Structures are given as structure tokens and as C-alpha cells.
Amino acid sequence: MSVRIDKGRLGAGLEMTPLIDVVFLLMIFFLVASRLEEADRVIDVVLPEASAAKPLTSRTREFVINIDRTGAYHAGARPVDLTELERLLRQAAADQPVGQTVILRADEDVPHKFVVGAMNACVLAGIDDYHVQSVTTADSPRP
């Protein structure tokens, strides 16, 4: 018995039926999955409140150090010396061990050694994420 091979139909095209089946199965999967997610939120539950609990994730607070043109350090609005600044930075790093950010805002006329002193205090306190911003005359009024 001889087998007859039709050579004209081998490269005729791509079968679409299995692809359509896969698309319909994916649609059904996502419809069912989205319905299950909504079912968890429909139940009315009154959750208890904790008075001393802290959130698991919180925004990192930036520690701002201002250096005026005389080289005086200010932590927030309070003037501090370099040893007090290092102590405050150590405390900030202990309070927020992951991701403590320090912003150094230096006057444009301040000598560079004061900025380096603040950067050194950050490193000694264990803070690697610090940024230096230059404050122009328009940003800070002069006495």
C-alpha cells in the first residue's frame, strides 16, 4: 500500500485553535483570581487598635544640618558644636538603623573644612547616606 504525501500543505499556516484555547484558559484564570481577591475584602471586620504599636514600614526622616557662613552648625534650628552634632547623628542612626539620610546645607561662603567636618561626623556615626546642598544668598538672608 502506498502512502500519498501532499507536499503543498506542509507549510500552509499556523493552527489557531490551540492558541485560542490557551487565551480562553488564561482569561478564565485571571477572572477567577480577581474574584477571590475581592472576596477577602467584602467581609466586614472591626480590627482592634494597638496603642503602642509602630508601623512596620515608615518613611525615613531626613536629618538636616545647616552650616552658616561663620561655620556654626545647626541641627534643625538649634546651634550645636561638632561633638554634639556627632552625638545627635549617632542617636538618629540608632533610632532608624536602615536608611537614615542626612542633608548638609552649607552657605556658599562657608570654608570647606566645616562641610568636611560635618561629613566626617556622619561617617563616624555610621551614616553613609548624606547629601551636600549649597545655599545661595537668595535662600538664606544675611544679617
pLDDT tens digit string along 54-69?
665 556 678 889 988 8
134 or 75, which is more confident?
A: 75
The helix/strand/coil state of 94 is helix
Residue type, 53: A
- Beta strand segments in 62-128, E: 62-67, 73-75, 78-80, 101-107
> What is the rounded CA–CA span in Å between residue 91 and residue 85?
10
- Whether 28 is covered by a domain: the verdict is no
- Whether 41 is covered by a domain: the verdict is no
Q: What is the predicted pLDDT for the residue at 97? A: 72
Q: What is the predicted pLDDT for the residue at 35? A: 67
43 or 121, which is more confident?
A: 121
> Per the structure, how many domains does the chain have?
1
- Whether 127 is covered by a domain: the verdict is yes
Domain that holds residue 103: 62-135
| pLDDT tens digits, 30-45 | 888 776 655 555 666 6
The CATH number covering residue 114 comes to: 3.30.420.270
Main-chain dihedrals φ then ψ at residue 106, nearest 5 degrees = -115, 140
